[in-house]
Amino acid sequence: MRLAGLTVFLTALAWGGEFVVLENGQRLYADRHEREGAVVRVFAHGGMSEFDASRVVAVEREETVEAAAPAEPETAAAPVPRTARDLVDEAAHRHGLPAGFVRSVVTAESGWNPAAISPKGAIGYMQLMPGTARALGADPHDPAQNIEAGVAYLRALLVQYDGDTARALAAYNAGPGAVSRHGGVPPYRETRTYIQRVLREFQKTAAARETHAAR
């Protein structure tokens, strides 16, 4: 299963970026892009990916939405607390990933337990290793930072593996080094079970949404 086939990307908010559309239908969110000869460079979230220009079929400007000015309240309303699912959905929007897919990763990683720590030391909702969290400039014990960094890392892996969801999930679970050594999904039972669980959970939630929409 590839990223483009997971689901229609969630509607982008007003970040003023663009989407680079590849020949396979995949749409990559980008802060900007540049073309040099036969190479297109895509810049997003502090990283850069290169693609053959022949693979890029279009660049679409991101639609921005101007929010209507709210009515002046008589008294200041208390802020509505954000749940972990709100944080996940918001991070998924920011990084151009289906919220249901990211939720499925959280379910498989931590079961939505913010205090979860694995035997190997992975922390929080997205089960970030301390080294990965440091590289992303995040405090893994802070729920919002944990989710934001985990989603950013997941998206980076999907871009790195050209939208190959299985390899990206394998790298998230076992590390990119294991994927490189084995030339794909490593033959680890834990990793293969993890991939199946994420995809099964995502398919289940997608089916539930379709059933609800049909009513």
pLDDT in tens, 149-196: 999 999 999 999 999 999 999 999 999 999 999 999 999 999 999 999
Same domain, residue pair 23 and 125: no
Check whether 146 has a pLDDT greater than 70.
Answer: yes
Give the 3-state secondary structure percentages of the chain, helix then strand then coil, rounded to 5: 45, 15, 40
In a domain, 206, yes or no: yes
- Pick 194 or 79 by higher pLDDT: 194
- Which structure tokens are listed for 134? 């440091």
Same domain, residue pair 134 and 52: no
Tell me: the pLDDT tens digits for 15-62?
346 667 777 777 676 777 788 888 888 776 667 778 888 887 777 764
Q: pLDDT value at position 214?
A: 52
* Active site members: 109
Nearest C-alpha neighbor of 95 from the set 22, 161, 14, 152: 152
Q: pLDDT value at position 50?
A: 84
CB atoms under 10 Å from CB of 20, counted, come to: 24
- Which structure tokens are listed for 25? 């239908």
- Pick 135 or 40 by higher pLDDT: 135
Same domain, residue pair 139 and 196: yes
Position 91: which residue type? A
Query: Length of the chain in residues, anyone?
Result: 215
CATH of the domain at 35: 2.30.30
Put residue 179 in one of left, alpha, beta given phi > 0 → left and psi -120 to 50 → alpha.
alpha
In a domain, 139, yes or no: yes
Q: pLDDT value at position 63?
A: 44
- Pick 16 or 207 by higher pLDDT: 207
In a domain, 154, yes or no: yes
pLDDT above 90 covers a percentage of the chain that reads 56
Tally the domains of the chain.
2
- pTM assigned to the model: 0.62
Same domain, residue pair 91 and 129: yes
The whole domain housing 56 covers 17-61
Q: pLDDT value at position 65?
A: 39
Give residue 105's Cα distance to chain centre.
Answer: 9
Segment (H or E) for 36: strand 32-36
Burial of 176 (0-12, 13-18, 19+ CB in 10 A): middle
Rounded Cα distance, 132 and 65, in Å: 34
Same domain, residue pair 92 and 194: yes
CATH of the domain at 89: 1.10.530.10
- Pick 205 or 19 by higher pLDDT: 205
> Token match 């929409």: residue?
213
Average pLDDT score over residue span 107-130:
95
Query: Mean pLDDT in the chain?
Result: 81
> Token match 């229609």: residue?
8
Strand order in the sheet with 27-30: 27-30, 18-22, 56-61
Same domain, residue pair 40 and 134: no
At how many degrees (to 10) do helices 143-160 and 84-94 cross? 40
- Pick 69 or 114 by higher pLDDT: 114
pLDDT band at 211 (very low <50, low <70, confident <90, very high): low
Number of H helices, E strands in the chain: 8, 6
Q: pLDDT value at position 14?
A: 32
CB 201 within 8 A of CB 107: yes
